[in-house]
Structure 1
Amino acid sequence: MINSLPNKRVIREVFLALRQLLTAILAWLFAYPLTCLFKRDPNLTLVIGRQGPVFADNSKYFFIAATQFAKPNERIVFLTDHRSIQQAIVEAGGKAVMHPSWRSLYLVLRCTTLAADMSDWFDYGAYPLSSGARRVQVWHGAPLKRIELDLYRERLVIMPAWAGFLLQMQKKLLGRYPKYDVVVSTSQDFTDRAFSRCFNTKEFIACGYPRNDVLLGWPEPDKVTAALLDVNVDLSALATVRKAKSQGTRIGLYVPTFRRDLANPFAEDMDLARLSAFAVRHNCFFVLKLHPFMQGRYAVDRYPNLLEYAPLGDVYPLMPLCDFLITDYSSIFFDFLLLDKAIVFFAPDLAHYLAQDRKMYFDYDEMTPGAKCACYEELEQQLRLIVDHAGEDGFARRRAEVRAFTHDFVDNRAGWRLYHALASKKN
């Protein structure tokens, strides 16, 4: 009997890989020939969401932008594997279809543009069925840590030649690490230094991330857009924060990074009782956005002035209300730079993380414009300085420098730019 979570996880991943491989083989044998028979609809764009009850990140916000800006004869359809998300999108006035289903696979076969922000979009035969369509990778975060092709190359180097060859054949069959038509980035500098190493694509478009539009105020939302923006948002937490904000309370958002080895330094290094006492003493309110793996394990809400945000919820509508961000290695801080507010980097396991989990594209100290805290005492000291100085942390100039490198645009028009860039390339 297997009791450890890592072993259960390995078995689950093996079964997933086998299922994906079998699906891909069947799709190439029986579905791919259909791409030669069916003409693609130039007015059909599909957006594939991530697995589970999730409607968030760039897939959500590109879908909303495309829905808002689409011409009357265009169809923008979101594909999801969760019934609650599909129903919520339809009730809000958008178009959504369950995936996989006969209907969704037919849409993949007919679409001219297919967009996704995760690496597993290829599943259920979507890669062979989308042959001839324009594949757009919007991705879900500017890379501080190594991702995608760089991680794949590292894996190939340490494998025996025969195993590496089999792995490459498997990935080609699945459509993992494909050559995209378009990959979206946040700046040309970021493209040159990081994105170009992560993805194989015909073109990079440095238009910014659609999800960041909501940080700076969505451009003139209509009724449908406003309703879609609320889907998968923790509205209860949002209301609580708005109330606290209206009373003059400073809001902090804490977003720790998930570790690949399932390690959880949050439990070892973060003292929730002390953080709560600090919040009460200094009229602060902390929102914790934890990984789903940590959901409900710490009874966060029993501590005064602490609140756990829904782990799978879309946190971006909350971020403009926050006065400062606490994180470690999450790329969310690149997005938070657009708000020009204090960021504290609480990274007690930095050396271990770099050695055991992920290498980085940039020097951590140079790319993180904020105080670095190696223990809880240092974190509380830095938070006290921010509170005492009305939100200022002394890093405004450095934030501006990093923001200029990572963002070519500081506005709420990324979704608009991406939609029109893709529309201009239609055949």
Structure 2
Amino acid sequence: MVDQTLGLLSALLGWILLAPLAALVPRRKDWITIVGRDEGKFVDNAKYFLLQATPALRPKVRCVFVTERRDVTDMLLASGYEAMLYPRWRSVCFLLRAGTLIADSAEWHLRLRHFLTMRCRRVQLWHGVGYKRIELDQWRNEASGGGWKSWPLLRIARSAKRVFLGRVVRYDLVNTTSAFYRDEVFKPAFHSAHFTALGYPRNTFGNLDEAAKATAWRNVDSEITGCVHGWLADGRRIVLVAPTFRDTRASPMGLGATTLALLDSWCELQRVELVFKFHPAERRASEVAGRHLHLCGPESDLYPLMPLSSALITDYSSIYMDYLLLDKPILFLVPDLDEYVSKDRQLQFDFRDMTPGPKASTWHELVKHADRQWEADEYIEARGALKLKAFDGRPQEFAVPLLIEFMRDQEWLPKAATSSINSVTQADA
């Protein structure tokens, strides 16, 4: 209750003081501000947009990563990129003057950033595509399910509150990975002047220049980084485990002492190294330990490791959709599907239709599925069909050049002398 009251008072201050100021201060087309997830972590689409857009736009356009984390600013400045700590005076002024905002989550609006960026062009590169309902579509379906959330006056009040706080805005561009996701997921979930399907910056999987690649690896877990090439040289398979976060389980994906011992024995037999990456808020994740069981730091980036892995194990996380691009096995551990749908998140699409891989309700079942996958991958065609649906066959390394070209065509950025990318305005159809 206290947090909600403070949030409302903060928004009131923003509307009274900052919104009028933002309406008067002139914006600069040659300044882009990039805001990362969860207080400005250097991960996901925000990270990879900065790494690719900075060299493409220098020296005419400044790309600045604005974050609340000093470790991120220190790392980026040491790597030759621009970064500012928020809410320092310098970053506040930059937000007031920047012509374009790049975000990949809803949290960018917090701590008055919504009001400081009024009148700038807001670009949303949402951090995942899968089968779960998000934003407006999620709230709409929650309200239509009956109970107190469906009361008309309460629905209006909740919607008005989201607009007042800046959680619901009209974006200038919402970008995703395919026409299917654009039309079926993002158009129902956001208000935006434009919707495009140009691909995701994070799905380059190492296809970066050397400076960007070095920076991309700087916030990969250092212990894993120190081991991964030795594992590969020794002929061991690296299997990533990346579950989503929910409140309804006592331990991450049902990992108790007996299960951990089973997994360690299986890894020894199959020459596998299991690398776990949990949500920072996940309970008891630090208890995962074994000779062949390894934990990525909760703040680290998993994407540089993905091309080096042999398979992915997940539950309901949309990370599996990006993993489709690697044409490698994906296995799903879902012991609580009914509970997850009823208590955590509504699914927009049929779970089985959207998950091309074996499903298991226990780890014992899952390792048996994995053994069969090593012998014969029976889901190649299903993964290929979903990959085409999810990415339209578009090479993901073109995502940032296409986004830049789109923004230039809209005159949000200064025009380039020449262009190596064809016009992409047709993607906005």
Contact 1:49 1:60 in 2 (8 A): yes
Residue equivalent to 1:164: 155
- Give the Cα–Cα distance (whole angstroms) in 2 for the partners of residues 398 and 297 of structure 1: 32
Question: How far did 1:283 drift?
Answer: 0.8
Question: How far did 1:338 drift?
Answer: 0.3
What one-letter code is carried by the residue in structure 2 that aligns with 1:80?
T
Question: How far did 1:230 drift?
Answer: 2.4
Residue equivalent to 2:381: 397
Unmatched runs of 5 consecutive residues or more in structure 2: 413-429
- Give the Cα–Cα distance (whole angstroms) in 2 for the partners of residues 405 and 342 of structure 1: 18
Select between 402-411 and 312-321 the one with higher mean Cα deviation: 402-411
- Give the Cα–Cα distance (whole angstroms) in 2 for the partners of residues 109 and 79 of structure 1: 12
Select between 40-49 and 145-154 the one with higher mean Cα deviation: 145-154
Q: 1:315 aligns with which of 302, 305, 313?
A: 302
- Give the Cα–Cα distance (whole angstroms) in 1 for the partners of residues 304 and 387 of structure 2: 20
Q: For residues 61-117 of structure 1, what are the alpha-carbon distances to aligned partners after superposition, in whole Å with 9 as ceiling and x for unaligned?
A: 111111121131211000100111111111111111111222222111111100111
- Give the Cα–Cα distance (whole angstroms) in 1 for the partners of residues 271 and 297 of structure 2: 23
Residue equivalent to 1:7: none
Q: 2:346 aligns with which of 359, 366, 371?
A: 359
Q: 2:169 aligns with which of 171, 174, 178?
A: 178
Q: Counterparts of 1:50-65 in structure 2 under 5 Å? A: 50-52=37-39, 54-65=41-52
Which secondary structure state, in structure 2, belongs to the residue aligned with residue 290 of structure 1? Answer: coil
Contact 2:199 2:396 in 1 (8 A): no
Q: 1:421 aligns with which of 406, 411, 426?
A: 406
Unmatched runs of 5 consecutive residues or more in structure 1: 1-13
Residue equivalent to 1:190: 181
Residue equivalent to 1:344: 331
Select between 345-354 and 410-419 the one with higher mean Cα deviation: 410-419
Which secondary structure state, in structure 1, belongs to the residue aligned with residue 42 of structure 2? Answer: coil
* TM-score using structure 2 length: 0.90
- Give the Cα–Cα distance (whole angstroms) in 2 for the partners of residues 51 and 145 of structure 1: 20
Select between 80-89 and 332-341 the one with higher mean Cα deviation: 80-89
Q: For residues 232-266 of structure 1, what are the alpha-carbon distances to aligned partners after superposition, in whole Å with 9 as ceiling and x for unaligned?
A: 22132122122101111011111112114465462
Q: 2:264 aligns with which of 276, 292, 298?
A: 276
Q: For residues 128-180 of structure 1, what are the alpha-carbon distances to aligned partners after superposition, in whole Å with 9 as ceiling and x for unaligned?
A: 22221110111110131111112222344425333333322221111112111
Identity, % of aligned positions:
34
Distance of aligned partners of 1:222 and 1:334 in 2 relative to their CA distance in 1, 3 Å threshold: same
- Give the Cα–Cα distance (whole angstroms) in 1 for the partners of residues 306 and 339 of structure 2: 29
Contact 2:40 2:66 in 1 (8 A): no
Question: How far did 1:361 drift?
Answer: 1.7
What one-letter code is carried by the residue in structure 1 that aligns with 2:203?
N
Contact 2:243 2:278 in 1 (8 A): yes
1:412 paired with 2:397, answer: yes
1:293 paired with 2:293, answer: no
Which secondary structure state, in structure 2, belongs to the residue aligned with residue 96 of structure 1? Answer: strand
What one-letter code is carried by the residue in structure 2 that aligns with 1:412?
E
Contact 1:143 1:195 in 2 (8 A): no
Which secondary structure state, in structure 2, belongs to the residue aligned with residue 292 of structure 1? Answer: coil
Q: Counterparts of 1:79-94 in structure 2 under 5 Å? A: 79-94=66-81
CA RMSD of aligned residues (A): 1.9
Q: For residues 368-413 of structure 1, what are the alpha-carbon distances to aligned partners after superposition, in whole Å with 9 as ceiling and x for unaligned?
A: 11111122221111111123x2xx4211011100000001213422
- Give the Cα–Cα distance (whole angstroms) in 2 for the partners of residues 256 and 383 of structure 1: 17
Q: Counterparts of 1:27-426 in structure 2 under 5 Å? A: 27-52=14-39, 54-157=41-144, 158-213=149-204, 215=205, 217-219=206-208, 221-223=209-211, 225-261=212-248, 264=251, 266-267=253-254, 271-294=259-282, 297-301=285-289, 303-387=290-374, 389=375, 392-408=376-392, 409-426=394-411
Question: How far did 1:21 drift?
Answer: 2.0
Distance of aligned partners of 1:222 and 1:240 in 2 relative to their CA distance in 1, 3 Å threshold: closer
Question: How far did 1:280 drift?
Answer: 0.3
What one-letter code is carried by the residue in structure 1 that aligns with 2:343?
Q
Residue equivalent to 1:9: none
Distance of aligned partners of 1:296 and 1:353 in 2 relative to their CA distance in 1, 3 Å threshold: closer
- Give the Cα–Cα distance (whole angstroms) in 2 for the partners of residues 66 and 21 of structure 1: 35
Q: For residues 309-368 of structure 1, what are the alpha-carbon distances to aligned partners after superposition, in whole Å with 9 as ceiling and x for unaligned?
A: 111211000001110011111100000000000011111111221222222121111111
- Off by >6 Å, runs of 4+ in structure 1: none
- Give the Cα–Cα distance (whole angstroms) in 1 for the partners of residues 255 and 226 of structure 2: 30
- Give the Cα–Cα distance (whole angstroms) in 1 for the partners of residues 26 and 300 of structure 2: 37
- Give the Cα–Cα distance (whole angstroms) in 1 for the partners of residues 286 and 259 of structure 2: 11
Contact 1:94 1:228 in 2 (8 A): no
What one-letter code is carried by the residue in structure 2 that aligns with 1:32?
A
